[in-house]
Structures are given as structure tokens and as C-alpha cells.
Structure 1
Amino acid sequence: MSGEHNPELSPTERSIVDLIDEAAITALTTALVEAPSENPGGTEGAAVEVLEKACRALGFDVDTHEVAAGRPNLIATLPGGDGPGLMFLGHSDVVPAGPNWTADPYIVRNRDGRLYGRGTTDMKGGIASVVAAMSVLSRARDHGVELSGPVRLVCTVDEEEHGIGVRDFVGRPADHDFLGCIVAEPTDMQIVRGCRGASYIEIDVTGRAAHSGRPADGRSAINAAAAIVEIIRADHEHLHETLDDLLGCGTWNVGTIQGGQGISVVAPTCSLGIDRRLMPFEDPHAIAEDLRKAIRDKKIDSDGISVDVRVTMEMPGFATAADHPLVTAAVGSVTDAGTATSVGGWSAACDGGFVSRDLGIPSIVLGPGNINTDAHQPDESVAVADLVTAAKAYTLAGLRLLG
């Protein structure tokens, strides 16, 4: 149990926060990690089963729904009053373990106060912290606190790949209003009130093959693709002329290029794989249409060249006002949980963009662990103390927003 007393806490808050059980957080994180759920692979079912069992044992209302075979979303709800609730968002999938681990990535090691294993930071530890917070909030009534609305954990599949889990979730009818959503991704307990979105734009260019000794007889798809890359490069520079204080600007990156038939053949085909990071107000389909227009205006898709432009992935961005109650409550809660924090933006994307855009729920990202130094790395790890701090902060946020 936590024995630290923070002088900024009220006696009631202190009595509830002191119920947080470090051993339970460690045990649930361990159980979740040791139920591998690599993506690609579609193997989240075992981890969700562990989470479901834990949530049911704590008395939460639990619902699971298969988005695809063996890939269930989970929604666990701690009931409260009829007012707007507080949502927590996480995901059950992890990236593949990959090489260079010093031990089995799916057998958790507890060493020097850190848990090692794939998913400890991103983000099974954060999910365990949410469950711990909900557990003590379920006992708030014993301390004279009635929650004005429900507290809900939404755990989706496929966050690391195509987002089919969150797309399914936001596409279902809402059964309650929520004043805010905390995405428990690893931010080192810094408060992220805005994220850029992400999209993939894929381009196929078709020309006409010919002998390289007479290139004029053909139409080079590679030359046309190079001209398209130049349009993208120029727009990338143009975007940087106007920077948002929170999120900077959208960006382009041509990540892959494949084309040609042989060195002595005019290239009949070429394909580009492009990452376009999005500002919260940007629509990737509108961006793709603008790119098509620029290609037409420069007459790249003429004289035997055809170009197909399509959006193959999109994850919206979001921005929540700095003075929104969710943000201010989070600042006070993290600080009073005993750690320093800041408020800013994230260049990465996360499922919170769908919750913000499609459900209209103000969102922030706040969680234990460091996404840059720990997530997606060999020997991924998270400090147990950080998991406890996160559970404290989530508990205080729940009490202050709903209590």
C-alpha cells in the first residue's frame, strides 16, 4: 500500500489514495505482459481475457465485443451518478518483441524497482494503473464521496497498426456523456493536451515501358514520381512557414519508393508510400485531393502517364484548450501525486484523436513510462513507482472531476 502523504491532499483524498495497492498494480501489469498480444498478429484475446477477469473481480460492469476474430475491445465501467463521466483509453496490443532482448520479453523481470517486458510501458502498465485507480474510486462512497458520473476504461485492439478497435468503438451509439478522456499512453506523466494526427497516402504511377536505348518511345513512371516528390517537398517547406505554438505544423515524409522493371527498361510503374502528419483541423482526403490537383496542374498525369492517389490510413489529431477543466484537474492531480509535470503537445498520434473528433470528448494523453526511451525498445521497462504515481494521479483526477 502507498504510505506517502502529500500535504496538498484533503484528508478524504488522502484516505482514498492510500488505498492504492502497489502489489496489485505489479501483478496485473505482469499478467497482462505475460499474455502476449503482438500486432501484427491479431493476438489480443489472451491479454483482454486477463483484463476482463481482473475488472470483473473488482465489481466493474464489463462488456467485450469482438472487432475481428479473436480481437475483442473491452469496456469496463465503474457506475456513478447520472452526470458526465470520466473515460480512460488504452490499447491491448503491443509491437513485436523484435531482437536484442537480454531475456524472454514475455516473462516479466522485476529488477531494481522496474518491470521489464514487452508492453510494460506501452501500455499495459498504464492500463494496470487505471484499473488500480478505478478500484479505489469504487470505495469512495465509504469515505463520503459520491461520484457524479461513471468512470470507464475503454481498451481497444489494433492501435499499433490500423486502429480497427477504436474505429469500431467510436462508431457505436454512445450510452453516456463524458466530460473528458485520459489516454494512458506513456508520457512520463507530462500532460499532452494536443496531438498531431497521421495519415498514409499511397501513389501508384503508371507509364509505358520501352527500350532504354530509345527512352522517348516510353513514358517513365519514375520520372513522373520524381516530379510528384518535388511537389511534396515544396509543400513540406511551405507548411513550415506557419507554425502553431502547440503542435508546430503538418509534415510530409516519402517513406518508400518502388518502381522500374530493369536498368535497361523505361520504368512502366512506380509507387510511393507517404506519411502525412496532420494538424487537428486537417482532413487527409482533402489533402490528397489537393495533391491530385497539383499533379494535374503540372500535367504530370498526361501524355501516357496515369496517377492514382489514395488515403490508406488516417488517425485524426486533436487539441484541448489549456484552461479546460480536464487539463487543469490533471495538472493539479499529477503535482499532488508527487511528481513534476508540464502541459504541451505531442508530435505522435494516438487513438484519442478519434474520441475527440468523432465523440466530441475533450482528451489528453497522460501516462507512466517514457515513449521515447522505453517504448518499442529491446528490454522495454517501466518503474513501479511511476505506475503507482499514475494510479494516484488518475484517482485524484476522478475525485476532483466527479467527486
Structure 2
Amino acid sequence: MTDALALNYAQRLISCESVTPAQGAVFDALEDMLKPLGFRVDRFVSGTGDDNPAHGAPVENLFAIRESGGRHFAFAGHLDVVPPGAGWASDPFVPQIKGDLLHGRGAVDMKGSIAAFVAALHEIPADAGTISLIITGDEEGPAIYGTRALIDHMHALGTIPDACLVGEPTSVNRLGDMMKIGRRGSVNMWISVAGTQGHVAYPHLADNPIPKLVAILSEIEAISLDAGTDWFQPSNIEITDLAVGNKATNVIPAKAEARLSIRFNDLQNGEALVARMQELVEKGGGTLTAMISGEAFLTPPGELSAAISEAVEGVMGITPEPSTTGGTSDARFLTKICPVVEFGLCNATMHKLDEAVAIADLTALTEIYRRVAIRMLGS
């Protein structure tokens, strides 16, 4: 039964257009799947009112729980998707089965894994323990009013999970070959150096900001933050933009700007990195602003990663590699309340045209999730 359910649920979710920040129909669909299984479903919108548009508000969130005492195991994910873009072979929000693949935006990132987990719930006894779903409509966007608001909601209810599985697409070459036990932190920085505009023939009457910015960037480029750890690759600083915007050939510009992105491991922290870069930039005559997207985190191998490994080995016959590679996810927020590991579908087509999931992988993932939940609930 769960074989057909996972595919059916994935099709229903994909059919709901839900470009971030998602609201409405896609949450209706998920709620309709969960209520017959005995879940209480709380839905709320965060970030309403006079908010900064850059924050991506308003955002709908869903917290569903089926309580029966015992241990509390949670599944977290997101129903929002990135814009599909032009060039799809078919409508990205009309799921299409072509051969052994299901196509549609969100098939792997991450409506497919949500569908698999809900399908697995049909085979988990209601008295096995407490299960919850932590589902946001804003993971692909700024993530200001998504999972963080859901964590506040759980605190208000006084219900915090003992462990949480995040259904991000972590597999690389085949389902089950990788799980994420941590993620690097991320901080973006903007550097601005002011000068005095003037004619290039009279440089003594102007102040060119470009050499100052180049000197600052040269010093930054020479920094080696660390050599990595047992679980993390070395932290890296990347210059991602350089702009002057001077269209004239005979004018010294009044301002030069650059942008940095730093991905860092657990030897670093965001605030310290910002302070270090700010000191360097101000010494060179510039100003710096920064936004910390998340801190590095690690869930050392333990009960949850062992449960995932055992389930994957039993279903797929392989052992998932514990990894901390890749970008950020909402696990960076959830790790503050309980142990978190990410595991899900193959990520080869996520965010791409004609995103697709193997139907067999939906079936296998459903059984993997069922086994993980049963073990974590202690049944």
C-alpha cells in the first residue's frame, strides 16, 4: 500500500505551485494527508505586516503531531520550491511519469521525501510513540519566518523532539550513499570603500577608492582560516562580486564595492569572522556590513545516524557516508533543540530543469523512513 501512497502523495504535492514563500494549497494537501492518520495539525502564517520584503514574508508553516507518550521523533522539511525557470519539457507543476521517473518541481527537493515519510506513517502504529512533522514554506528563501518560527511554536507548546530527521536530498550517486551529520556555517559580507570623484587628468584633486579596495581584497585573499577537522573541510573565503559601475573612461569613481562569502567549519564562528574582517576592512579605509546565515554544527555519530545506517543497509545494501559537505539547510536551526541528521533522495536534479525522482527511490525511501522512525521511537 505504501508503494502507491508515496507516489500519489508526491504527485499531489507537486501539483500545488509553491514557489517560496509558499502558502495555501500545498499545505491544504499535506494537512488532508495527515489528519486521517490521527495528527493534530497547527498551521500559522509568520512575518505578516510591515516587514522588510527581503525577508520573504509572509510565510506559512505547519506543525503536526500525533502524541502517545514515549519518545518524540520528528521529521522536518519544506514545501516551498525554487522558481522553475523556462525550458521545461512539460509544466513543472503538472507531475509527469516518464518511464521510471516522476518529473516536477520539488520531486526531490523536497516534496518527494515528505511524501515518503507520510506514506511511512501508515505503517507506524499510533501507539509507537510521539511523531511530529515540522514543515515550513520558506527554506529556499531567506528562512527568517520559517523553521525558526516553528521552533518558537514548539517551545510555546512545550513539546521538543528527542531527535529530528531532515528530509533534504542528501544522496549523490544512488539512494542511501550519503547522509549529512552537520553543515558548515555561512556568512555574507559587503565591503564599501568611499573615494572622491574627479578627472583622471587631475588625480591630485580626487581620491581613487579602487586601489584601496584591491589592497583590502588582497589581504583577505591571503588568509587561511584553518586546515579543516575530522568531519569538516577547511573553511574558505570567496570573493563573489566586485563592482564600481563607472561607465566613463576619464573619471575617477567615488566608490568601489565588493562582496564576500565565507563557508566555515566548527573551528570558527560567525561573529568572530565578522569582527576579524571588519577590523581588516576598516584599517584599509572601508566599511563592512554582514549577514550570518547560520553557524556550523555537527551531530556526532550516535543513535540517529546509526538508525539511518541500519535502515539504509537493510533496504539498499549499502552504508551511507556521514558528511558535512554542501550548502546550508534548516538543520542549522533545529540542531539547537535536538540531535539532527539529514537524509533523503538523490540530489542530481534538484533546482534543475525537469527535476525528477526515481519512483523506485520513493518506495525505498518510504521503507527506510519507516525503519528509522520505529527504531528511534523504541518500538
TM-score (norm 2): 0.89
Structural mapping, 1:156-305, within 5 Å: 156-164=136-144, 165-172=146-153, 174=155, 175-188=158-171, 189=176, 190-235=178-223, 238-239=224-225, 242-261=227-246, 262-280=248-266, 282-296=268-282, 299-301=283-285
Q: Which of the numbers 266, 277, 293 marks the counterpart of 1:314?
A: 293
Unmatched runs of 5 consecutive residues or more in structure 2: 49-57
1:367 maps to amino acid: G
Map of 1:24 onto structure 2: 5
Structure 1 Cα separation of the partners of residues 130 and 295 of structure 2: 26
Q: Which amino acid aligns with 2:62?
A: L
CA distance in 1, matches of 2:31, 2:259: 38
1:378 matched to 2:353? The reply is: yes
Kept in 1, the 8 Å contact 2:244–2:255? The answer is: yes
- Is residue 62 of structure 1 aligned with residue 41 of structure 2? yes
The DSSP-based 3-state class of the residue aligned with 1:121 is: coil
Q: Please tell me the residue identity of whatever aligns with 1:25.
A: A
How many angstroms does 1:260 deviate by?
4.0
Alignment check: 8 A CA contact 2:269 2:296 kept: no
Q: How far apart are residue 196 of structure 1 and its match?
A: 1.2
Shift of 1:269: 1.4
Deviation of 1:35 after TM superposition, in Å, equals: 0.7
Corresponding residue for 1:45? 24
* CA deviation after TM superposition for structure 1 residue 212, in Å: 1.2
Give the aligned partner of residue 304 of structure 1.
none
**Partner letter of residue 56 of structure 1?**
K
> Quick one: structure 1 residues 275 and 44, their matched pair in 2 at CA, closer, same or farther if it must change by over 3 Å?
farther
Alpha-carbon distance in structure 1 between the residues aligned to 2:366 and 2:162: 19
Cα deviation for residue 173 of structure 1 reads: 5.2
- Amino acid of the structure 1 residue aligned with 2:162: L
In the alignment, which of 86, 111, 135 is matched to residue 98 of structure 2? 111
Partner SS, residue 239 of structure 1: coil
How large is the Cα RMSD of the aligned pairs?
Answer: 1.9
Contact 1:84–1:176 (CA under 8 A) maintained in structure 2:
no
> Which secondary structure state, in structure 2, belongs to the residue aligned with residue 246 of structure 1?
coil
Kept in 2: contact 1:205–1:224 (CA 8 A): yes
- Please tell me whether residue 342 in structure 1 is matched to residue 325 in structure 2: no
Deviation at residue 337 of structure 1 after TM alignment = 2.2
Structure 1 CA distance for aligned equivalents of residues 292 and 18 of structure 2 = 22
Taking structure 1 as the reference length, what is the TM-score of the superposition?
Answer: 0.84
Corresponding residue for 2:55? none
Q: Partner amino acid for 2:271?
A: H
| Greater mean deviation of Cα atoms: 179-188 or 116-125 | 179-188
CA deviation map 1:201-249 (0-9, x unaligned)? 12222221111112232222222222222122112xx135x12222212
- The equivalent residue for 1:331 is 309
Secondary structure in structure 2 of the residue aligned to 1:289: helix
SS in 1 for 2:232: coil
- How far did residue 349 of structure 1 move? 1.4
Once the two structures are TM-superposed, the CA of residue 30 in structure 1 deviates from its matched residue by 1.0
- Distance across 2 between alignment mates of 1:268 and 1:45: 47
- Counterpart secondary structure, 2:41: strand
Tell me, in whole angstroms, the C-alpha distance in 2 between the residues paired with 1:256 and 1:127.
Answer: 36
376 and 336 in structure 1: CA distance in 2 versus 1, 3 angstrom threshold: same
Quick one: which amino acid aligns to residue 193 of structure 1? I
User: Across the two proteins, how many residue pairs are aligned to each other?
Assistant: 359
1:126 matches 2:116: no
Tell whether the 8 Å contact from 1:196 to 1:316 is kept in structure 2 after alignment: yes
> Out of 359, 366, 379, which is 2:343 matched to?
366
Percent of counterpart pairs with the same letter? Answer: 27
For 1:167 and 1:282, locate their aligned partners in 2 and report how far apart those are by CA, in whole Å: 22
Change (3 A) 1:267 1:396: same
User: In the alignment, residue 151 of structure 2 is paired with which amino acid?
Assistant: V
Taking a change above 3 Å as real, the CA distance of residues 250 and 396 of structure 1, as seen in their structure-2 partners, is same
Say if 1:191 and 1:341, in contact at 8 Å, map to a contact too: no
Cα 1:243–1:280 change in 2 (3 A) is: closer
Contact 1:97–1:378 (Cα < 8 Å) also in 2: yes
Q: Indicate the residue corresponding to 1:398 in structure 2.
A: 373
| Unpaired runs of at least 5, structure 1 | 2-20, 302-306
Report 1:116-155 matches (<5 A).
116-137=103-124, 140=125, 146-147=127-128, 149-155=129-135
Q: Distance in 2 between matches of 1:177 and 1:170?
A: 8
- The 1:159–1:355 alpha-carbon spacing in structure 2 relative to 1, beyond 3 Å, is same
CA distance in 1, matches of 2:373, 2:137: 25
Query: What do the CA deviations read for 1:238-283 (whole angstroms, capped 9, x no partner)?
Result: 135x122222121112212222433322221122222111213533
Is the contact between residue 260 and residue 268 of structure 1 (CA under 8 Å) also seen in structure 2? no
What corresponds to 1:17 in structure 2? none
| Distance 1:102-1:343 versus aligned 2 partners, 3 A rule | same
